[in-house]
Amino acid sequence: MSFLSDPVQAGDLQLANRIAMAPLTRNRSPNAVPTDLVATYYTQRASAGLLISEATAITQQGQGYADVPGLYAPEQIAGWKKVTSSVHAAGGKIVVQLWHVGRVSHTDLQPGNAAPVAPSAIQAKTKTVLIKDGTPTFVETSMPRALELAEIPGIVADYRRAARAAIEAGFDGVEVHAANGYLIDQFLKTGSNTRTDTYGGSIENRARLLVEVLTAVSAEIGGGRTGIRLSPVTPANDVIDADPQPLFDYVVAQLGPLGLSYIHVIEGATGGPREVEGRPFDYAALKAAYRAAGGKGAWMVNNAYDKALAETAVANGADIVAFGRPFIANPDLVTRLERNAPLNEVNRATLYGGGAEGYTDYPALAAS
């Protein structure tokens, strides 16, 4: 049996195996409320050592796509309680990914049709999803406005409140989404942050929001139930940093003392090549910087892993490997990896929006 099946500790979380289900946006929560179908979807995949929920908006301002879930209203918390209760009844562990999209949004999704917020008033060259006549439609993002300095403590407080709501909803912990060109990542990177105040310019200033959010969340629910997702070099959602290695080495050094559950690192381009041309990055050095700063959380790796790559990663010191799209079409991915069984193919036409088709109707292996 593969050592991917070995149990592992991630902060306060004892996981049955080293396989995590990565966060996957599916656009099936109308009015930002998870449904019974969402509960079925996650429960089908509860054999993963850890389920990381789809990205979940901490406020309406933090929402960037239609029909994604939230964690800021009573009906959303109630919907998530059904999900977590069902996952736990199936023996699984689940954390929620806390999300503020920043500039990757559209005025149609914002309170009062306001402009999205960002570190700087720079429009993202990317698209988001609206529902038009019942059909998911990709549209250009709206021009954002720069957050005022006085607004930033409120953003930190929103993350803290969402973390508390997550525990109320029955989650085992949270993962702060600081990757893929969303708000925290926008503050980190020079291509999206041209501020001249204490949140812009130097590495320390650009990392300030991330450090404040993780400090607040870990203080609220405990570091051992708090994880973070980072993507040092991905070009997703039009983000780029002029010199990512010292930036992210600094970031993980600041996270070391917080006693986090895990660090979740996307290696290369999200959903793309593991090596990004012109953007070399030393992930071993990143992990070393975290450990040197006292960080004891589990080290989770992600991006285009198959079983062989995952086993090599664990043999080389990774604690957990996150699988994304293979979990969409294979609710029993853990069993399939254990048995070296073939994988179902993803139906790309049903990835975003819709109902059970391409969501909860993928077949599991026949019992043997």
- Structural contact between residues 302 and 264, judged by C-beta atoms closer than 8 angstroms: yes
pTM over 0.95: yes
User: Distance between CA 173 and CA 166 in Å, rounded?
Assistant: 7
Using alpha carbons, select from 225, 313, 307, 311 the residue that is nearest to residue 267: 313
Query: Which residue has tokens 């570190």?
Result: 119
72 is catalytic: no
| Mean pLDDT of the 317-322 span | 98
| Mean pLDDT of the 213-224 span | 98
| 15 phi and psi angles, rounded to 5 deg | -105, 140
pLDDT band at 367 (very low <50, low <70, confident <90, very high): low
Using alpha carbons, select from 321, 187, 189 the residue that is nearest to residue 266: 321
Q: Is the pLDDT of residue 109 over 60?
A: yes
pLDDT band at 134 (very low <50, low <70, confident <90, very high): confident
User: Distance between CA 327 and CA 346 in Å, rounded?
Assistant: 9
At 230, list the tokens.
Answer: 């980072």
Q: Is the pLDDT of residue 45 over 90?
A: yes
Q: Is the pLDDT of residue 220 over 80?
A: yes
At 344, list the tokens.
Answer: 């179902």
H or E segment and range at residue 214: helix 208-221
User: Distance between CA 13 and CA 16 in Å, rounded?
Assistant: 10
Q: Is the pLDDT of residue 226 over 80?
A: yes
Spell out the alpha helix ranges (H) of 150-268: 152-168, 183-188, 203-206, 208-221, 244-255
- Structural contact between residues 80 and 69, judged by C-beta atoms closer than 8 angstroms: yes
Q: How many C-beta atoms lie closer than 10 Å to residue 209's C-beta?
A: 24
Residue pLDDT, tens place only, 139-173:
999 999 999 999 999 999 999 999 999 999 999 99
Query: Quick one: DSSP state of residue 317?
Result: T
All structural domains of the chain, each given as residue ranges with its CATH number in brackets, are 3-350 (3.20.20.70)
Mean pLDDT rounded to a whole number for the chain:
96
Residue pLDDT, tens place only, 259-271:
999 999 999 998 8
Using alpha carbons, select from 260, 342, 328 the residue that is nearest to residue 12: 260
- Structural contact between residues 95 and 110, judged by C-beta atoms closer than 8 angstroms: no
pLDDT band at 215 (very low <50, low <70, confident <90, very high): very high
Active-site hit among 159, 182, 199, 352 = 182
Rg (CA), the chain: 19
Using alpha carbons, select from 237, 204, 274 the residue that is nearest to residue 55: 237
pLDDT band at 217 (very low <50, low <70, confident <90, very high): very high
